[in-house]
Structure 1
Amino acid sequence: FQSYFESYLSVASTVPSVLCVILNFLMVNKISSNTRILTSLAIMLVIFLMTTALVKTDTSSWTKEFFTVTLASVAIVSGASNIFSGSIFGITGRFPMKNSQAVISGQGMGGTVSAVASVVDLAAAGNVTDSAFAYFMTAVVFIFLCIIVYLILPYLQYSKYYLKIPEERVQTAAVISNGSTTEEDIQQNMTTPTQSQNGSSGVIPPLKTILKKNIVLGLCVFYVFMVSIIIFPSISSNIESINKGSGSQWSNKYFAPLTCFLLYNFADFCGRQVTAWIQIPGPKSKFLPTLVVLRTVFIPLFVFCNYQPRDTIKVVFFNQDLYPVIFTILLGLSNGYLGTLPMIYGPKVVPKELSEAAGVGMSFFLMSGLAMGSAFSVLLVHLI
């Protein structure tokens, strides 16, 4: 199980997610975003509470069953997480582009915080059980905070304006510009529940119209994340330090947590954050898909680092610890930048009334790329 755990984990987390993203798209106009988001957060909270409790449970006598429970938990959390993130990204499609970019950067920051928590737990905890308990409790706390913050969101004046459907937004702006109403009237108008928040038309969004506008951007997202998940974490986490036998803490304890998880997530966050200031290439540029395809070169670069164990491909070309560090930085930066650009472009190239559905649709391309990459990662690990 240990040799292929990361690959199994990737499959368990991405395949159900694709199904949930499809379901999310079909539910856009049938179930309110509030219901989808709060329900998915509640499911994640319950699963992480259960996982935290299992940390203190002796599972040595039912290893296979525990492995199955773990993968099932991952599948449920992943599905709920993607309904949550798809719904959130769909909502931000109605906000200015800077807000969509901030959501995606926030996801990258979440990965970085998670990686930092893992390293801190590893260094500070007396044993692996205490480390795992603190790690999963961190997740419980963050999910609880997410619920509180989302409940506050509708009360902010800024979000009240953009959460309105476009027609209501125009009417509100016209009333304000004419000066024909009082501040109390404006407040009352802005707090009126909208169809897109609390009720829905029940009509499935026009998929053909959306795809006609952003199919190239969607395929860019698909390929960026497919290449990344082939490598990270199933390949990159099994790259060992050349000096592993030396007995140093760096080589034996911290090499993978630092060079794989922390470095990749931080680089990914930086790549996402750069899109707040630089948005080149544009949504219609042919250079964007070219850069995306060029990322394929990362696959052989990581395979020929010191990946262990190796049964078929015995050759290691990059036999210095510096190589996987450089490759991981470049992989993370390119994933963050080239993955974020089409994600924020997607909801903006369609009519405003389709922006939420387009945002959910872009999440489908993302999750499909992760699912396909997971399948290829399992195959690649077995080939190595």
Structure 2
Amino acid sequence: MDDTEPLPSLNSSYAPTALGNHRVSEEEDSEDQGPLVSLLPKDSSGPLAMRYSPDDSYSLVYIIFFLMGIGSLLPWNFFITAKHYWLYKLSNSTSQGGGEEQRSDLGDYFESYLAIASTVPSVLCLILNYVLVNRLSSNVRILTSLGVILLVFVVTTVLVKVDVSHCRTQFFFGTLASVAVVSGASNLFSGSVFGISGHFPMRISQALISGQGMGGTLSAVASIVDLAVAKDVTNSALVYFLTADFIILLCIIAYLLLPKLAYSRYYMEAAGRTSAERMSDGEAAGTGSGVSIPPLQPILRKTWVLGLSVFYVFCVSIMVFPAVSSGIQSVNKDSGSPWTTTYFVPLTSFLVYNVADFCGRQATFWLQVPGPTSRVLPALVLCRSVMVPLLMFCNYQPRDHLHTVLFAQDAYPVVFNCLLGLTNGYLGTLPMIYGPKVVPRELTEATGVVMSFFLTLGLAVGSSFSVLIVHYI
């Protein structure tokens, strides 16, 4: 092979994507196992010695990681899809016990500030996660972050029935502070879980990312059901946040169950042995203190294109979702129909986007094209830039500066949100699952954290631009 175009080494956990759960024998002809296995190193000490690995009985480990994927993005999704509740709390009609929300500056810019409050601390927590990846066990990081998320959501649930009409500004900043804490903990959790999923076959990483998409879908469905069932907005929000409390608690129970399953225990113990060997090698070389933080340069050398792809995918998405997409109103709103007033935004913005996003993520289970070294992947990522002006020129209201509406039909935001979600799910998932597989096995967990950092950095930058876009419109 030409040295000028080196193919990144693929650690052996990349192989089971093509092979399913089948156990691999090193004596088998690599040509019979497909191109992925033929690229793997013949190292008997590595995970290729999987001929004794157990099966994932009843796909329990897949389901657990899918559930933890739901839990990792569920707090953010539950906050942003409770749009009617936040508008009610921040409006001038709260003291009247209901009624039509009156416009306020706090409500107009709440979602943009919500995005900023969630992503900036997330970046800091992912940096902390990278520093702690070899110093603090994944169990401590994951269970602590889940405990913090549950605590904040319980407080948020209690505040649903508290009258804040005389302290809306304090409630506004208190909510942003809660979002900041939850987002930091959520990213510590998701970065840690994605890191340990890198030690598993790729189907497990895919399960985690698909679960994140399902978290958004569940929150959108729950929001619509609550709007339909509960006539009072506070009763609706109470049931809504109680649902989030239950799912987070379920994630804690599921993670505690993970080490008891033979399939997950096999890969987690193998990862533990690799870490122990790396630490002992460092101590033998007299660099014991230097191995606490994983080396960043070899990770970036292999994954910088994939990382930038993840960054730009989520940067573009958060620019317009939900700050712009949830402000697009039906052109037939004056008809008074509940479908064009109450349900239009939850259906056309949140539900359509999240279902499409989940479908895009799930599609990577069967189709992984383009590959990790293809130039087509970053090219497709750049093409998503067109989604920003398309949604800006839909019927976003109120329009204070950009008065032109080019797409004055209700079908347009549905189509655009669907495309935004599909491309976000598919093009965002591929580089995320490729990243930990193109580095040496001992850097797998750290690479998972780095890829999560690129994702969150994209959200942070995109959320900053979303404020400018909303102001410009």
CA distance in 2, matches of 1:97, 1:214: 16
Residue 236 of structure 1: which of 325, 346, 363 is its match? 325
Please list the CA deviations of residues 269-292 of structure 1 after superposition, one character each: whole Å capped at 9, or x if unmatched: 000000000000000000000000
Deviation at 1:195, TM superposition (A): 4.8
Residue 89 of structure 1: which of 194, 197, 200 is its match? 194
Deviation at 1:165, TM superposition (A): 3.4
CA distance in 2, matches of 1:168, 1:204: 17
Deviation at 1:166, TM superposition (A): 5.1
Amino acid at match of 2:229: A
Equivalence map 1:101-140=2 (5 Å): 101-140=206-245
Please list the CA deviations of residues 140-171 of structure 1 after superposition, one character each: whole Å capped at 9, or x if unmatched: 000000000000000100001111235848xx
Residue 75 of structure 1: which of 172, 180, 196 is its match? 180
Say whether 1:6 aligns with 2:111. Answer: yes
CA distance 1:278–1:124, change in 2 (3 Å): same
Q: In structure 1, the residue corresponding to 2:166 is in which secondary structure?
A: helix
Give 1:36's aligned residue: 141
CA distance in 2, matches of 1:195, 1:289: 36
CA distance in 2, matches of 1:195, 1:297: 48
Please list the CA deviations of residues 27-67 of structure 1 after superposition, one character each: whole Å capped at 9, or x if unmatched: 10000000000000000000000000000111111110011
The structure whose RCO (Cα within 8 Å, separation 6+) is larger is 1
CA distance in 1, matches of 2:240, 2:116: 22
Q: Structure 2 unaligned runs (5+)? A: 1-105, 283-287
Say whether 1:358 aligns with 2:463. Answer: no
CA distance 1:167–1:360, change in 2 (3 Å): closer
Please list the CA deviations of residues 278-318 of structure 1 after superposition, one character each: whole Å capped at 9, or x if unmatched: 00000000000000000000000000000111111110000
Q: Does the 8 Å contact 1:165/1:353 carry over to 2?
A: no
Deviation at 1:126, TM superposition (A): 2.1
Please list the CA deviations of residues 53-112 of structure 1 after superposition, one character each: whole Å capped at 9, or x if unmatched: 000111111110011110000000000000000000000000011110110000100110
CA distance in 2, matches of 1:28, 1:130: 41
CA distance in 2, matches of 1:266, 1:330: 11
Q: Does the 8 Å contact 1:9/1:71 carry over to 2?
A: yes
Say whether 1:275 aligns with 2:380. Answer: no
Give 2:264's aligned residue: 159
Residue 304 of structure 1: which of 370, 388, 393 is its match? 393
Give 1:60's aligned residue: 165
TM-score (norm 1): 0.91
Amino acid at match of 1:90: G
Deviation at 1:3, TM superposition (A): 1.0
CA distance in 1, matches of 2:447, 2:271: 15
Give 1:184's aligned residue: none
Which is helix-richer, 1 or 2? 1
Give 2:311's aligned residue: 222
CA distance in 2, matches of 1:167, 1:305: 52
CA distance 1:103–1:209, change in 2 (3 Å): same
Amino acid at match of 1:355: T
Give 1:185's aligned residue: none
Equivalence map 1:149-228=2 (5 Å): 149-165=254-270, 168=273, 195=276, 203-228=292-317
CA distance in 2, matches of 1:327, 1:24: 35
Q: Does the 8 Å contact 1:275/1:337 carry over to 2?
A: yes
CA distance in 2, matches of 1:315, 1:226: 25
CA distance in 2, matches of 1:288, 1:122: 40
Q: Does the 8 Å contact 1:227/1:295 carry over to 2?
A: yes
Amino acid at match of 1:66: F
Q: Does the 8 Å contact 1:52/1:136 carry over to 2?
A: yes
Give 1:20's aligned residue: 125
Q: CA RMSD in A?
A: 1.5
TM-score (norm 2): 0.74
Please list the CA deviations of residues 240-263 of structure 1 after superposition, one character each: whole Å capped at 9, or x if unmatched: 000011100011100000000011
Q: Structure 1 unaligned runs (5+)? A: 170-193
Residue 373 of structure 1: which of 452, 456, 462 is its match? 462
CA distance in 2, matches of 1:249, 1:383: 29
Count of residue correspondences: 358
Q: Does the 8 Å contact 1:165/1:195 carry over to 2?
A: no
Amino acid at match of 1:366: L
